[in-house]
Structure 1
């Protein structure tokens, strides 16, 4: 029996628990984990019973603006933070380093490991975006012409955008270096 494919992991609805691939109802009732999920989750995350959406709901109680999570010691990422600040005059996006306590909690909320600094993450109240989808979503919040550019770039297939994103992300320290401290 072939299992249906899960929805795209690039824009994950927040379930409160670490997302696993699709499970048929009969397997869910039996308490079974999908073989891919059980192989890919670390024991600390798999055994976790904290509802991270609930545990981090205070981040969105008084301020519903999305939060951009970035690598705080990456020079390229810090340049991106400066770019967002310069082009977000209305302060529509909040910023938080992935390495901070809040950043680690928001990573968990987004279904990612708390030490995963491989991608920029945009956390909205009910959804998270990673890799190129996070970049395009951030562009939508900025001043003109960036929302229009994001609309244009959405026509590039996701796998192509993410190949480019991954190549830059994997080489960011070599190409741009590290900083001793976080930008914010």
Structure 2
């Protein structure tokens, strides 16, 4: 199963979702240290990561972040906790994303799940996963 480098992280995203691809493009632009790697949930690596952490690869309603600290231990985050950790991991002013924890997780995750259930209808869907630009290929599993 794919593992991030120590101190790095893997984000499993929906490779055909227009919104999700926009999220990945945003992260590629703002991740100055190249901390995040990406796996489309439609790929073998993405499906394996989802399944190994108790998420159904056939029902991509969750957002998965797998982090490994320098000691090599995994830290798994899903949904709004994952989004909060990803944004804060960009550093600088993005660390303010931790203030999202002030909103009860049940409320945050309910809003996230509504967005996840409607993302294709609201934002669109690609026919197939997009190929990363050559300068970003090494960041995709």
User: Do the two structures share a fold, i.e. TM-score over 0.5?
Assistant: yes
**1:59 correspondence with 2:6:** no
8 Å contact kept, 2:51–2:57: yes
* Mapping for residues 1-184 of structure 1, pairs under 5 Å: 56=1, 59-60=3-4, 63-64=5-6, 65-125=8-68, 126-148=74-96, 150-183=97-130, 184=132
Q: TM-score, normalised by structure 1?
A: 0.64
Cα deviation for residue 181 of structure 1 reads: 2.7
Q: Write the distance in 1 (CA, Å) between the matches of 2:104 and 2:116.
A: 18
Q: Write the distance in 1 (CA, Å) between the matches of 2:111 and 2:56.
A: 23
8 Å contact kept, 2:85–2:98: no
Q: Call closer, same or farther: CA 1:144–1:182 in 2, change over 3 Å.
A: farther
Q: Write the distance in 1 (CA, Å) between the matches of 2:90 and 2:24.
A: 12
**RMSD over equivalenced CA pairs, Å:** 1.4
Cα-to-partner distance string for 1:100-143 (whole Å, 9 max, x where unaligned): 00001111221222323112110123121111111111112114
- The structure that is helix-richer by fraction is 2
Higher CA-based Rg: 1
Q: TM-score, normalised by structure 2?
A: 0.82
For structure 2, which runs of at least 5 residues remain unmatched after alignment? Answer: 69-73, 133-141
- The structure that is strand-richer by fraction is 2
8 Å contact kept, 1:110–1:123: no
Q: Write the distance in 2 (CA, Å) between the matches of 1:127 and 1:143.
A: 18
For structure 1, which runs of at least 5 residues remain unmatched after alignment? Answer: 1-55
SS across alignment from 1:145: helix
